[in-house]
Amino acid sequence: MIKTFFTSDKDLFQEARNIREIVFVIEQEVAEEEEFDEFEDLSKHFLIFDGDKSIGTARWRHIADKIKLERFAILKEYRNLGWGEKILKAVLEEVLPIGKDIYLHAQLRAIPFYERQGFKKVGEMFSECNIDHYKMVIEQNENV
């Protein structure tokens, strides 16, 4: 099951925060102030559940004439089991009809995952929170 919500749903947002704290702050050592930013209230959030347990999260937001997908996180014991693909597909089902170009910043190990979903790597590698990334895009004019 996948639930979508805004930060006004305090309980669901807290579950998403807990997952992001485990994955990004604890596992990847991202500073908490960088992980939880001023864009939380401007974003649409997603939680994916295995039964009653929330196991993954993501969010998206409008940035000018584009849509940015962010904060994809799946708890370690649920990775490589198809949960990431399920939540990404749910996000894409929501944002593709909007008709804007879509992009995200992919960590190096996640690039093949996003490529399988139709994203293309663009530009040079860059560091974000001391983790190497590439920008990846889905250009709507290629998919409409």
Q: Each residue of 25-57: pLDDT tens digit?
A: 999 888 888 888 889 999 999 999 999 999 999
Q: Each residue of 55-98: pLDDT tens digit?
A: 999 999 999 999 999 999 999 999 999 999 999 999 999 999 99
For residue 30, the model assigns a pLDDT of: 87
Report the SS3 class of residue 40. helix
**95: nearest Cα among 120, 65, 57, 60:** 60
Q: Which two tokens stand for residue 45?
A: 């959030």
Give the DSSP per-residue string, 46-92: EEEEETTEEEEEEEEEEETTEEEEEEEEE-GGGTTTTHHHHHHHHHH
Q: pTM value? A: 0.90
Determine the average pLDDT of the residues in 105-128. Answer: 91
CATH class assigned to 2-143: alpha beta
Q: Which two tokens stand for residue 51?
A: 């039964």
